[in-house]
Chains A and B, each alone.
Chain A
Amino acid sequence: DAKTTQPPSMDCAEGRAANLPCNHSTISGNEYVYWYRQIHSQGPQYIIHGLKNNETNEMASLIITEDRKSSTLILPHATLRDTAVYYCIVKVGGTSYGKLTFGQGTILTVHP
């Protein structure tokens, strides 16, 4: 599975958009990009995933560059409850099990 690189920390003002980048320059054609987040002392929560096209759900939007070497998770109107560690993970789809490798992620702090 391709390796990902994320900034260790980011800040965002409440009500503004939070844009979290992820670099995955060695991604292959059948690898999905997943985003999870972990609020302090809780289990990680799935946010969104994508393969080639941009994706949007009720939590966030995922923008994947045309060459698929990087992506951005967008929280359109960040709230204090969005303060968490955000993990970007790349994983081959269609494999026999859903083993995901979690790195250290990006600590997002949303300020009032």
Chain B
Amino acid sequence: DGGITQSPKYLFRKEGQNVTLSCEQNLNHDAMYWYRQDPGQGLRLIYYSQIVNDFQKGDIAEGYSVSREKKESFPLTVTSAQKNPTAFYLCASSIETGRISSGANVLTFGAGSRLTVL
């Protein structure tokens, strides 16, 4: 089955440590995204990537870094510079809008990774 796989599902880290969250998709989607969700809140965009070797900052990129070396992979690193890293992190993907005649775009999400900083 095609989909998005995020790992690990739960992660604990000590303050001052960097941690990398994995996101892999086999949907052949061009674009990939990382969102952060805090309790009782909506999703906020961290980074997104439309094509391989290119990515853009979202609304809350400070303290995070990403890479897009392969079409199917978009890992997110939460660095020690992120002041409040405890959150639920969601990865998503979509077909690049330019390839859709209707102009609409639909995101497929992974199951999420819950990061807790101790």
Contact = CB atoms under 8 A, between A and B. Distances in A.
Where chain A touches its partner, the secondary structure class is loop
Contact of B42 (A42, A96, A102): A102
A112 interface: no
B112 interface: yes
Given A95-B97, A97-B31, A43 B48 contact: no
Given A42-B111, A93-B105, A102 B43 contact: yes
Contact of B107 (A41, A96, A98, A103): A98
B41 A41 contact: no
A28 interface: no
Contacts, number: 75
A91 interface: yes
B2 interface: no
Interface size class of A (residues with CB under 8 A): 20 to 34
A61 B114 CA distance: 32
B64 interface: no
A44 B105 contact: no
Contact of B50 (A36, A42, A96): A96
A53 interface: no
B48 A49 contact: no
Given A41-B88, A93-B97, A96-B50, A46 B112 contact: no
A3 to B, nearest CB: 12
Interface in A54-112: 87, 91, 93-105
B90 A104 contact: no
B66 interface: no
A30 interface: yes
Contact of A94 (B97, B107, B111): B97
Nearest to A93: B103
A96 to B, nearest CB: 6
A95 B108 CA distance: 18
B109 interface: yes
Interface in B75-118: 88, 90, 92, 94, 96-98, 102-112, 114
Which 8 A-B pairs give the minimum distances between C-beta atoms? Answer: A93-B103, A43-B109, A98-B105, A94-B103, A102-B43, A102-B42, A98-B94, A103-B42
